[in-house]
Amino acid sequence: MIREIIMPKLGETMEEGYLSKWLKKEGERIRKGEVILEVMSDKTNFEVESQYDGYLRKVLVEPSDQPIPVTTVIGYISDSPDEPVPDVLQTPRIEPEKAVTTEKIDSKVQDAKTAVRGDEKIRATPIARKIASEHGIDLASVVGTGPQGRIERKDVENFIARASGPSSKVQTAEPSETIPFSPLRKIIAERLTYSKQNIPHYYLSVKLMVEQISKIKEIKKAEGVDATYTDFLIFLTARLLVEFPLMNAAVEGDRIRLYKSVDVGVAVGIEEGLVVPVIRGAAEKNLEQISNERRDLAERARTGKLKKEEIENCRFVISNLGMYGVTNFQAIINAPGTAILAVGAIQEEPILDNGLLKAGKTMWVTLSLDHRVIDGAYGGKFLQRLKSVVENPGQIYL
Amino acid sequence: MEITKDQARFLLKQMMEIRYFEDKIMELLSKNIAEGGSHLYAGMEAVAVGVISSLLPDDYIVSTHRGHGHAIAKDGDLKALMAEILGKKTGVCKGKGGSLHLADLNKGNLGANGIVGGGLGIATGAGLAIKLKNRSQIVVSFFGDGAVNNGIWHECLNMAALWKLPVLYLCENNLYAMSVSVSRASCVPQLEKRAAGYGIPSDCVDGMDVLAVKEAATKWIEYVRSGSGPCLLVCNTYRYYGHSRSDPRVYRTKEEEKRYREMDAIETFAKKCVKNGWLSEKEVQELDAFVRNEIEEATDFAIKSPLPDPSELYTDLYA
Amino acid sequence: MREITYRQALNEALDEEMARDPDVFLMGEDIAIYGGAYGVTMDLLKKYGERRVIDTPISEAAIVGSGLGAALLGMRPVVEIMYVDFIGLAMDQLNNQVAKIRYMFGGKCTVPLTIRTEGGAGRTLGAHHSQSLEAWLMHIPGIKVVMPGTPADAKGLLKSAIREDNPIMFIEHKMLYNLKGPVPDGEYLIPIGKADVKKEGKDVTLISYSRMLQFSLEAAKVLEKDGISAEVVDMRTLLPLDMETVCASVRKTNRAVIVEEDTKTAGAGAEIGMRIIEEAFDHLDAPVLRIAGADVPMPKAPNLEKLAIPSVESIVKGVREVLA
């Protein structure tokens, strides 16, 4: 019996993935549950387990930086080592229902072939379509100079050259090196461009006094819980998000999906780029649990061993660049979430305490918000509450 | 003609093999076990057997669309022939030729042919090769009364006569091409007269009498083998079945068919064998039973054999 | 390298193969004493005798049929059909017998038969002596179809054809017999089934064969002056088609123009063009263009004859259209 290995759909919105690595070779025996390949999607490497016992008979696709649509057959497993196996690469099956996503997301990844200009289908040569598709260009924006307005290769190439600015016309006479986008970089570029172009961002900042947190940090460390400022913030914002559900939400077209579980994503920088693992149900977890989980996720993010359920469905995110001395910054919201909290470095500086000048520990935080969903007052109230619980942590049982 | 007991038995056996083979094919066709066309030789056995038994093993024959008889007479393997007719991979052509294209090059059978007169060119070319290589083989080119009106017949007879090729052109005149009789198709119905147009000798013989055929064949084979060039031998015979399975034979009368059945080559020869003491009645019956069994075994083999593997679709196209 | 004519190159090929293998013999109308209607078999009768260079009656069917018979018995006949226009007289032998016998007999024989013929317009001989019928022949599984366009290819391909154990239609062009070209000394073979890039280029691929190859090379020179760099692919064999070489070129230039002398409808270009679409679709920057013979019997008047087949001008014009 032959069974297909397909590019798995590892997330609600996943439409394509990149094949990072086969962990087994053709002819090798595999067991159900054994990890046989690694797939990259949404900035993370997933391990994919075999669903069956048998033999890996055919590897149809090798690792590359070409995206593969979900459900494409990429290999075959058979019960026995020698029954005949097909070697044709199948086309992706038609998905019965797509994940609910905004229209804008659809049009972004829309197949260039079905681009329409007014009521007409766009005429473009096969090579023009191929190049346009490879560069994510909507043919509707390209002017065709071929017969009857047909878009030809040179038209697409000129469009690309213009879009990347005059520098792209620089001849390769000047010494330079070209690095193609890695699969992760492509994902980051796509998602963040989308967020910046489609979400009306605005930013609210507040300076937090963190002496109290600092003291508790020491106490906890002595108890054996080595929590970071980020851990504290996850803990505290999670409890606040229970009161501010619009910040624990996802935008779907003209609807806002409010979630019961308070999940907090944490931005982790890795060698190849950036990933955002998520701590689920953070409002129910204590500081120690949060700290341990965050540490584990970060470690596995760096080694590329995150599971798909650990990075999908991400909404509210905390991003901390304080370790680099960045005092404050404005982060880009991780669509379809509605908010992201940017945390800066702790600074020792003079503060006024009851009118008296003294040394204090401060930390800027900036909340980026989606103005379609969250208005200034709502955001402001959140920050107000945040400042309050950070500076008087006794209010919350740690 | 004088023959030995062994020769008599051999001739009778081969004729029976052809007859029972053809009857069996008819049966399989009606039961839909065999498919496609089949052009049956029953009734004409004396011609194939009489001629081919007079050849040497390395002589060649080229056959017609009605080729089961020639194939069997040229030392054919009954099992492999039956399997080929059923399109099985154990057939003499691996199941890819079928009834119309039975061939066995190792045994000198250059093939049956789906085109009327289609074998004439091959036979003439084989004769040419034999002559160019100074060999002593000959080629018997079988064809029917219909082929003599086809262009290639004339081209080949002319060329063979011109170059004195060692080809015995053997016309099996069973009086009807498909449905059109010789008298309605040929301006000169005595087909042997055409030879005069090519300056080659011709002869005509009763094709229902195996010894008469054998005598004539022996003489003309010797003539051709001597290097004197080709000749035309017409054997007048009759096929019992229609042109093919689907032929209701409306162009023949029942009286005519009955008349020829009464001249049945096998029956008359069997009687002659007994009369001349070549075989006893009992031996004839035993032979009959033996051959029937041979055919049953061949049929069984063929039916049980598998069809060719799908991968054979594209094989054997180019060398 | 020495320069000899296409005719001399073919003559050398026959001579060399007959010297090499005693089973090779020639058969055809007027090939012995006359030396062939176009002189290809000149002087071979003198050298090899009448048992190996055989004049036949006017019997195309018997010529091809007996070629087959001799081939089945292990000889290596090279038969000639004087004009490809006459192949119809031998069509049953070619299509039903020569092409199919090996397959029908389960692979239990080989047919090492070469059928030489020539075709093409240019001598104002009219409709029965000017045709290009390769499309008919490409449609016959079991044979191969070879059409050399240069003297060097003619010699190398004919030698290969004679040595190959498959039946091969070797179609020469009457207007190329006097064409001189470089031909290597000594023994060499050109593989059947392999196309050849006769000129490299990057803007458009011209796909051609036989006399039209020469026209295409001329057209490429004209285009070069206008800064258009044409790549010229010589098919050399039409069955089987070497689409790998063609598609590699199309992937480079993104534009394909087929230049063929046969009549356009269901011609050789129809098959080549379709294969390009099937195998290199994503690389096309324009539809595949065919520049082909007019769908008419070949007229006698010299001006009409010129119009009925491609010309250097029509090729150049076609290329400009495709690059518009």
* List of chain C residues whose C-beta atoms are within 8 Å of the C-beta of residue A123: none
Query: Quick check: C278 and C288 in contact, CB under 8 A?
Result: no
> Residue A185: what pLDDT?
87
C323 touches chain A (CB under 8 A): no
Q: Is residue A175 part of a domain?
A: no
* List of chain A residues whose C-beta atoms are within 8 Å of the C-beta of residue C324: 146-147
Residue A397: pLDDT band by 50, 70, 90 thresholds? low
pLDDT beyond 90 at B295:
yes
Domain shared by A209 and A340, yes or no: yes
Task: State the DSSP string of A324-387.
Answer: GT-----PPP-TTBSEEEEEEEEEEEEEEETTEEEEEEEEEEEEEEETTT--HHHHHHHHHHHH
Please judge whether C142 and B156 are an interchain contact, meaning their C-beta atoms are less than 8 angstroms apart.
no
What ranges make up the beta strands (E) of chain A?
2-6, 16-22, 29-30, 35-41, 44-49, 54-59, 68-69, 73-78, 116-117, 120-121, 201-209, 249-252, 255-258, 264-266, 268-270, 273-275, 278-279, 316-320, 339-353, 356-370
Residues in chain C, pLDDT under 70:
none
CA B234 to chain centre: 13
Mean pLDDT calculated for residue range B169-195: 94
Question: Diameter of chain A by CA atoms?
Answer: 84
Distance CA B22, CA B26 (A): 6
C264 touches chain A (CB under 8 A): no
> Residue B245: what pLDDT?
73
Give, in degrees to the nearest 5, the angle at Cα C308 between C306 and C314: 70
Query: Quick check: B120 and B143 in contact, CB under 8 A?
Result: yes
> Residue A113: what pLDDT?
42
**A73-86: per-residue pLDDT in tens?**
888 888 888 888 77
Domain shared by A271 and A336, yes or no: yes
Provide the CATH number for the domain around residue B58.
3.40.50.970
Tell me: cis bond preceding C141? Omega within 30 of 0 counts. Answer: no
Residues 6 or more apart whose CB falls under 8 angstroms from that of B94 comprise: B308, B312, B316, C106, C107
B71 touches chain C (CB under 8 A): no
Q: Is residue B77 part of a domain?
A: yes
The helix or strand, by DSSP H or E, that contains position C53, with its residue range, turns out to be: strand C53-55
| Residue A273 main-chain phi, psi, to 5 deg | 160, -125
**Beta strands C76-81 and C114-119: pairing type?**
parallel
* Residues of A taking part in catalysis: 371
Please judge whether A127 and C284 are an interchain contact, meaning their C-beta atoms are less than 8 angstroms apart.
yes
Distance CA B233, CA B170 (A): 5
Cross-chain CB nearest to C283 (options A126, A147, A152):
A126
Sheet holding A35-41, edge to edge: A44-49, A35-41, A16-22, A68-69
Give, in degrees to the nearest 5, the angle at Cα A108 between A92 and A73: 15
Tally Cβ neighbours within 10 Å of residue C118: 25
Domain shared by A367 and A310, yes or no: yes
Establish whether this prediction's ipTM goes over 0.90.
Answer: no
Provide the CATH number for the domain around residue A201.
3.30.559.10
Query: Quick check: C98 and C64 in contact, CB under 8 A?
Result: yes
Q: How far apart are the first and last CA of chain B?
A: 47
Distance CA B18, CA A172 (A): 84
Of C58, C257, C80, residue with least CA distance to C162: C80
3 state DSSP class of A130: helix
Structural domains in chain B (count): 1
Domain shared by A213 and A312, yes or no: yes
Domain shared by A202 and A246, yes or no: yes
**Beta strands A73-78 and A2-6: pairing type?**
antiparallel
Residues 6 or more apart whose CB falls under 8 angstroms from that of C238 comprise: C134, C137, C138, C145, C146, C147, C209, C268
* List of chain C residues whose C-beta atoms are within 8 Å of the C-beta of residue B95: 106
Of B102, B69, B68, residue with least CA distance to B87: B102
Distance CA B43, CA B68 (A): 12
Higher pLDDT, C146 or A139: C146
Q: Is residue A30 part of a domain?
A: yes
Query: Quick check: A92 and A71 in contact, CB under 8 A?
Result: yes
Domain shared by A115 and A140, yes or no: yes
For the four alpha carbons of B258, B260, B262 and B265, in that order, the dihedral sign comes to negative
* List of chain A residues whose C-beta atoms are within 8 Å of the C-beta of residue C254: 125, 127, 153
Domain shared by A189 and A165, yes or no: no
> Residue A88: what pLDDT?
59
Residue A114: pLDDT band by 50, 70, 90 thresholds? very low
Place of tokens 């190329």: C176
Domain shared by A225 and A352, yes or no: yes
Q: Is residue B92 part of a domain?
A: yes
Q: Is residue A89 part of a domain?
A: no
Query: Quick check: B192 and B204 in contact, CB under 8 A?
Result: yes
CA C290 to chain centre: 18
Domain shared by A119 and A21, yes or no: no
CA A4 to chain centre: 28
> Residue A85: what pLDDT?
78
Mean pLDDT (chain B, rounded)? 94
Give, in degrees to the nearest 5, the angle at Cα C105 between C104 and C106: 90
**A264-297: per-residue pLDDT in tens?**
999 999 888 889 999 999 999 999 999 999 999 9
pLDDT beyond 50 at B65:
yes
A147 touches chain C (CB under 8 A): yes
C104 touches chain B (CB under 8 A): yes
Residue type, B178: M
Domain shared by A52 and A150, yes or no: no
The mean-pLDDT minimum among A65-69, A213-217, C103-107 falls in A65-69
Structural domains in chain A (count): 3
Residue type, C71: A
Query: Quick check: A296 and A260 in contact, CB under 8 A?
Result: no
Residue B64: pLDDT band by 50, 70, 90 thresholds? very high
Distance CA C324, CA A145 (A): 9
Tell me how close the Cα of A68 comes to any Cα of chain C, in angstroms.
18
Tokens matching residue B29:
């066709």
pLDDT beyond 60 at A167:
no
Q: Determine the structural domain holding residue A34 and report its residue range.
A: 2-78
Query: Quick check: B235 and B69 in contact, CB under 8 A?
Result: no
Q: Is residue B317 part of a domain?
A: no
Q: Is residue B237 part of a domain?
A: yes
Q: Is residue B43 part of a domain?
A: yes
Helix A376-391 / helix A211-222 crossing angle, nearest 10 deg: 50
C70 touches chain B (CB under 8 A): yes
Q: Is residue A93 part of a domain?
A: no
Residue of A nearest to C323 (CA): A146
Tell me how close the Cα of C76 comes to any Cα of chain A, in angstroms.
41
Sheet holding C237-239, edge to edge: C53-55, C24-28, C76-81, C114-119, C168-173, C144-146, C237-239
Tell me how close the Cα of C281 comes to any Cα of chain B, in angstroms.
26
pLDDT beyond 80 at B163:
yes
Query: Quick check: A369 and A338 in contact, CB under 8 A?
Result: yes
Domain shared by A212 and A148, yes or no: no
Please state, in angstroms and as integers, the Cα–Cα distance from residue A154 to each residue in A131, A143, C250, following that order.
10, 10, 16
Query: Quick check: A110 and A137 in contact, CB under 8 A?
Result: no
Q: Is residue A276 part of a domain?
A: yes
C75 touches chain B (CB under 8 A): yes
Distance CA A40, CA A23 (A): 14
Looking at residue B46, the DSSP 8-state letter turns out to be: H
Tokens matching residue C47:
């050298």
Tell me how close the Cα of C271 comes to any Cα of chain A, in angstroms.
20
Of A23, A43, A134, A26, residue with least CA distance to A77: A26
Q: Is residue B132 part of a domain?
A: yes
pLDDT beyond 90 at B287:
yes
Query: Quick check: A58 and A88 in contact, CB under 8 A?
Result: no
Q: Is residue B141 part of a domain?
A: yes
Q: Is residue A92 part of a domain?
A: no
Residue of C nearest to B121 (CA): C65
B312 Rama class: left (phi>0) / alpha (psi -120 to 50) / beta: alpha
**Beta strands C24-28 and C76-81: pairing type?**
parallel
pLDDT beyond 70 at A105:
no
Distance CA C223, CA C259 (A): 15
pLDDT beyond 80 at A107:
no
> Residue A11: what pLDDT?
63
Domain shared by A315 and A256, yes or no: yes
Q: Is residue A197 part of a domain?
A: yes
Distance CA C133, CA B283 (A): 63
C66 touches chain B (CB under 8 A): yes
Please state, in angstroms and as integers, the Cα–Cα distance from residue B271 to each residue in B121, B240, B263, B277, B283, following that order.
39, 20, 12, 10, 12
Asked if chain A contacts chain B via 3 or more Cβ pairs within 8 Å, the reply is: no
Distance CA B219, CA B216 (A): 5
All structural domains of chain C: 3-182 (3.40.50.970), 196-323 (3.40.50.920)
Query: Quick check: A60 and A86 in contact, CB under 8 A?
Result: no
Query: Could you tell me how many CB contacts below 8 A there are between chain B and chain C?
Result: 142
Mean pLDDT calculated for residue range A311-316: 89
Instruction: Residue count of chain A, please give it.
Output: 398
pLDDT beyond 80 at B262:
yes
Please judge whether C283 and A146 are an interchain contact, meaning their C-beta atoms are less than 8 angstroms apart.
no
> Residue A92: what pLDDT?
47
Q: Is residue A390 part of a domain?
A: yes
Q: Determine the structural domain holding residue B24 and report its residue range.
A: 5-303
Q: Note which residues in 308-367 of chain A have CB less than 8 A from chain C.
A: none
Provide the CATH number for the domain around residue A143.
4.10.320.10
